[in-house]
Amino acid sequence: MRLRKKPWIDDALPEVRDQYIYLDRLDRFKGHWRDQFQGRELCLEIGSGKGAFITGMAVLHPEKAFIGVETQIGVAYYPARKAKDEGLTNLRMLCGDAACLEDWFEPGEVRTLYLNFSDPWPKKRHAKRRLTYRDFLKRYALILKEGGEIRFKTDNKDLFDFSIEEFKAMGWELSHVTYDLHAAPVAGDVETEYEEKFSRKGNPVCRLVARRP
């Protein structure tokens, strides 16, 4: 997601900073995230964008806590704003790079991790940047608890097939693998911005669930 510089962001941020969005000291609650959310189980979304999915999930599942990780402050701001405006106590945003997840979460702290429409990085020499590259899967395996899962959606078939190979190579158990999610939608799921945009263009959406090795 490319963005122009948003001049208003510096003025708007203080209203949500350190309450709904963290920009620094992202390790401040390492090992204590669940205390922040009255013991609710923790779900992460990596690359939340403007947050249609994570805010929708937070409303739909008040018994769970949702943390969005997003590198770009210009988009990470939106779900934080919505959490404040709608009084969502089960949603926070971390503005940072998922490559640092182990610095922010203790092993086993997270129950479910969502990857939605992650950047495909189509060039082979950029494969290591894909969020389903094996080095990322190792990080996810560390912070997920036993039995924890990744739920992954994308319209990019090449990224999907690459990801299946990576998951298998790293010993993850795959289930609910589909190349056309919308033919049989999953209950309790929420459409993302990209999902709405690309499925409207006619692209089928792929989805899988991967259980931690």
Q: Does 193 bind ligand SAH (CB under 6 A)?
A: yes
The half-sphere exposure of 50 on its side-chain side, counting CA atoms within 13 A, is: 10
3-class DSSP state for residue 144? Answer: strand
Alpha helices in 33-154 (DSSP H): 33-36, 52-60, 73-86, 101-104, 134-143
H or E segment and range at residue 115 = strand 110-116
Q: Which of residues 129-158 bind ligand SAH (CB under 6 A)?
A: none
Looking at the chain, the number of H-run helices and the number of E-run strands are 8, 8
Residue 39 beta carbon to ligand SAH: minimum distance, rounded to whole angstroms? 26
User: Which parts of 67-86 interact with ligand SAH (CB under 6 A)?
Assistant: 69-72, 75
The minimum distance between CB 69 and ligand SAH, in angstroms, equals 5
Distances (CA, A) of 124 to 64, 128, 162: 37, 9, 11
Q: Which residue in the list 119, 155, 180, 189 is annotated as catalytic?
A: 119
Which of 27, 41, 119, 189: binder of ligand SAH (CB under 6 A)?
A: 119
Contact segment (CB under 6 A) with ligand SAH among 25-33, 114-122, 142-150, 202-210 equals 114-122
Contact between 175 and 212 (Cβ < 8 Å)? no
Distance CA 165, CA 133 (A): 10
Contact 67, 94 (CB under 8 A): yes
> Which region, left, alpha or beta, applies to residue 64 given φ > 0 means left and ψ of -120 to 50 means alpha?
beta
Closer to ligand SAH by Cβ: residue 69 or 143: 69
Residue 150's CB is within 10 A of a number of other CB atoms, namely 26
189 binds ligand SAH (CB under 6 A): no
Chain positions 90 to 109 lying near ligand SAH, rule: CB under 6 A, are 97-99
Two tokens, residue 33: 């995230």
* Nearest distance from C-beta of residue 70 to ligand SAH, angstroms: 5
Site string for ligand SAH, 34-53 (x = CB under 6 A): ------------xxxx----
> Which is closer to ligand SAH, CB of 90 or CB of 156?
156
Q: Is 178 in the site for ligand SAH (CB under 6 A)?
A: no
Residue 135 a catalytic site member:
no
CB of 36 to ligand SAH, least distance (A): 20
Give the catalytic positions in this structure: 119
Residues of this chain that bind ligand SAH (CB under 6 A): 1, 46-49, 69-72, 75, 97-99, 116-119, 192-195
